[in-house]
Amino acid sequence: MALFTFSGGVHPADGKEFAKNSPITEYLPKGDVVLPLGQHIGAPAQPIVSKGDQVLVGQKVAEAGGFVSANIFSSVSGTVKAIEPRMTPAGAKVNSIVIENDGEFKEAAFEAKPYDQMSKDDVLAAIKEAGIVGLGGAGFPTHVKLAPKDPDAIEYIIVNGAECEPYITGDYRILMETPELLIEGLNIVLDMFPKAKGIIGIEDNKKDAIAKVEALVKGDARISVATLKTKYPQGAERSLIYATTGRSINSSMLPADAGCIVDNVATIVAIKEAVKDGKPLYERVVTVTGDAIKNPSNFKVRTGTNVQELIEAAGGFKTQPEKIISGGPMMGMAMFTTDVPAVKTFSCFLAFTKDEVAANQPSNCIRCGRCVSVCPQKLMPAKLSVLADHNQFDEFEKLYGAECVECGSCSFVCPAKRNLAQSMKTGRKQVLANRRKK
């Protein structure tokens, strides 16, 4: 059978074996929860509660601060303790709502209009009200993604079930345990775009998940499963669109420009829960894993839960880790503290006994060309990184540096151990900022 794939990419050890067989278990926070007002791309949410207010699970505590923004809901019942800057997993201090958890988890009333009585606008409003953002890591508000300029031009709704980032297994467990929720959510999105077909892309190292989903969509003319070649970054938006449809986009385009909308597995399930159950987004699946974790696990985690609590729930550390990461090892952010909240975009806590990257000493480029061969965008990372390091951003842009998807494949294969991805990321960020100014 031919597998769907793209040009370039790498094959890092996937580390899935640590947590892939760990069922999703619900974890209820014991301590205070911290809800940063910026858990998404776009404008921070604006608090609508004050210190001393009593709140319930699922109660809105902050409203979207603009069109590209998202509502935030309490994940516990208790008392608003403070609204103050707190550290996030990305290492930034963000204004946050701190809620003293009463441990009772009393819920606000969730209401949903019968689905068969909902218009497309009703569905979109429910998704927006629920505060859903991309749960694959980007955090782009989902209601914005589902409101393209030309809805009739959308031909494909692509579900990213690749989960190509090593170690993370949350989406895999959703596919194994509740695939029917995914199909229900996908059908909701397809009803919004009657001309579109659904494609669920799953890497071929998840054959059991592929079999489960294929059985559910058998005979469905609107939904198919694309078996993807196991390769990183197969789940990157551009790679996935090309692999499943043969269409290409660049940094000046949106997936909608190629007739596509892409959402990951967890996001699609959240859509189902918002539209049919009236449930806002206040929890997500988080993988706690790595060779330094005693019992690697997949937890359903309430937003705002302290990461240190999750580590303890997974048995704690076998030994003090040399490196801890928010997210996967390829695109995640190194952390310097575990005293941070699990936010909407927090998919994984990763702990390694050894920091292999810190042991690497970068040397001069040996012009081997490996970075070029693995780049999914066919760029020249070795040259672009030098331009970025020397603040030559105009030249960086002329050599298509803005097309970098920040996957880290170039750094992974570089025998000189150069920090290519970090330099590329800096250059790309500056170029995009300059474009916005113009």
Binding-site sequence positions for [4Fe-4S] cluster: 365, 368, 371, 375, 404, 407, 410, 414
Angle CA 71–72–75, to nearest 5? 150
Residue-by-residue DSSP string for 80-108? EEEEEEEE-TTS-EEEEEEEEE-S--PBP
Angle CA 382–383–388, to nearest 5? 100
The beta-strand segments (E) located in 297-425 are 297-302, 323-326, 333-335, 348-352
Beta partners for residue 289, in sequence order: 350
Contact in structure between 98 and 355 (CB atoms under 8 Å)? no
User: How close are the terminal C-alpha atoms of the chain, in Å?
Assistant: 48
Measured distance CA(96)–CA(49) in Å, rounded: 11
Contact in structure between 358 and 392 (CB atoms under 8 Å)? no
Q: What is the dihedral of CA 270, 272, 276, 279, to 10 degrees?
A: -10
3-state secondary structure of 434: helix
Measured distance CA(194)–CA(315) in Å, rounded: 47
Residue 213, number of CB atoms within 10 A of its CB: 24
Residue 114, number of CB atoms within 10 A of its CB: 7
Distances (CA, A) of 152 to 147, 305, 314, 333: 11, 41, 47, 38
Binding residues, as ranges, are 365, 368, 371, 375, 404, 407, 410, 414
Run of H or E residues at 35: strand 33-36
Residue-by-residue DSSP string for 326-350? ES-TTT-EEES-S-SB--TT--EEE
Burial class (CB in 10 A: 0-12, 13-18, 19+), 286: buried
Burial class (CB in 10 A: 0-12, 13-18, 19+), 340: buried
